[in-house]
Structure 1
Amino acid sequence: MNSSLQYFANSISRLLLPVDGAHAAACEEMATAMSSAEAAAYKGLQQCIETVMAEVERLLSAEQKATDYKAPDDGMAPDHRPTTACTRVVAYLSRVLESAFTALEGLNKQAFLSELGNRLHKVLLTHWQKYTFNPSGGLRLKRDITEYGEFVRSFNAPSVDEKFELLGM
């Protein structure tokens, strides 16, 4: 997009200056086209986030076991690793993140990552409300929260980091 604007400003715009009203009309048309392109890109990114979150919900549903957070009291040592659901979600989102870092830049990337982080936080809260926890399960949940928190730190979105830090508390 930027190269189109530069070309317009450097070449076309100058040619239109002597023509009465043409420069203003062309600038207005260019602004309308840019606005339309931005709206389409925004809609596309929102749909992308919707699709990504649907997959996160599917993974959580398929992989999270009731015993992950309420292990039977059988005398075995508690498992301090992240749950399989957590590991799979982070692996999936890591691939999404790779694509985002390749395809987006600047404020677009930041807005996308912030929205993704906020939506992940919301999905996880809703997901965890379905479970009951015993003490060792609570420790396992804390481990998952730490894992998710470390992952979202790569988003460079302070508001998202704060939400995940509060979860840990």
Structure 2
Amino acid sequence: MCTGKCSRIIAASLYPLVLLSITCNIILFFPGWKVDYVKEGHITEEVKYMGGAIGGGLLMLIPALYIHLTGQRGCCGNRFGMFLSIIFAAVGVAGAVYSFIAALFGLVNGPLCLSGGQWTTPFRDSDKTYLTDRTVWTKCQEPHNVVQFNIGLFVTLMVASTLQAVLCAIQIINGLIGCLCGVCYNKDEV
């Protein structure tokens, strides 16, 4: 496969993951699908790190755009352009790692919720993991189903960021091949 075509496929695969990461991060600000918790500041701390919006979103969108341009015939489709795509892909890996770590900490620490009359993260210092024991999820009285809400969205962010990191790593290899061997184009490609 041509290095330019590979770049276009990688970029096309990154775009939906960027959108998914940003969407998940925005939704995490509205546990129980209510705006009240944001207004009152009762949001899980790791959501405020904006891992999905910054790491999986912005820090991934810029490399995705450049990688897409690298795959096009023209000014970026040369050895230097492929070299730059390696750097941009490395930035994408860094963004994916940031998103993954923020989501991982969100899962490990658990959600901020009303428990025993006060807003706390009841699973932060627990000896057993709350992820496998659904009976302890009732500790969170409010927002409704916040544990499932956070687990679903943080796991989605972790999966998306893992895929983003893999795609950017493939682009680093692709960019290295394109940088060393040159970029090929079919006669039919525009």
Shorter-chain TM-score range: 0.3 to 0.5
Find the structure with the greater CA-based Rg.
Answer: 1
TM-score norm. by structure 2 comes to 0.31
Q: Say which structure is richer in helix.
A: 1
TM-score norm. by structure 1 comes to 0.34
Q: Which has the higher contact order (CA 8 A, sep 6+)?
A: 2
